[in-house]
Amino acid sequence: DVKVTQSSRYLVKRTGEKVFLECVQDMDHENMFWYRQDPGLGLRLIYFSYDVKMKEKGDIPEGYSVSREKKERFSLILESASTNQTSMYLCASSVSIPSTDTQYFGPGTRLTVL
C-alpha cells in the first residue's frame, strides 16, 4: 500500500516564524502536491512537483515556497507565517503524468498560527 506521511499532525506557530511542513511518500511516485483545506473553500492547490527539483505553482502559491531535493520528499515552507495561513495542510502523491491520476493523501497537518 502507498504510504504518505506528514511530519506533524498538529502544529502551533507564532506570526512571523518560518515553518516547514514535511511530506514523505514511499512508493516512488513522480508527482507530489500540497493543498490547504478550509471550511467553505474545499481543497486548494498550493504547489505541485513533477520531479526532483521541479515545482509548479498551484492556485494559491502566495506566501509559500516548496522544496523537492529527493523524489520521496516534498516540503512546504511558510517563509513568514501569518494568521491567515491557519489551516489544514494536506500532502498527496500520484504515480506519474498525467498528474490527474489517483492521488494518495497523507493524514494532514493542522497548523495554527497565533
Partner 1 sequence: SQQGEEDPQALSIQEGENATMNCSYKTSINNLQWYRQNSGRGLVHLILIRSNEREKHSGRLRVTLDTSKKSSSLLITASRAADTASYFCATDSGSRLTFGEGTQLTVNP
Q: Which residues bind partner 1 (CB under 8 A)?
A: 4, 33, 35, 40-43, 45, 48, 56, 58, 88, 90, 92, 98-100, 102-108, 110
Of residues 46, 43, 33, the one with CA closest to residue 101 = 33
Segment holding 20, helix H or strand E: strand 19-25
Which residue, 64 or 106, has its beta carbon nearer to partner 1? 106
Enter the DSSP assignment of 83.
G
**Secondary structure of 35-72 in HEC code, one letter for each residue:** EEEECCCEEEEEEEECCCCCCEECCCCCCEEEEEEECC
Which residue, 35 or 64, has its beta carbon nearer to partner 1? 35
The CB-of-17 to partner 1 minimum distance in angstroms stands at 23
Which residue, 40 or 69, has its beta carbon nearer to partner 1? 40
The CB-of-16 to partner 1 minimum distance in angstroms stands at 27
C-alpha torsion 4→79→19→1, nearest 10: 0
The CB-of-106 to partner 1 minimum distance in angstroms stands at 5
Which residue, 35 or 74, has its beta carbon nearer to partner 1? 35
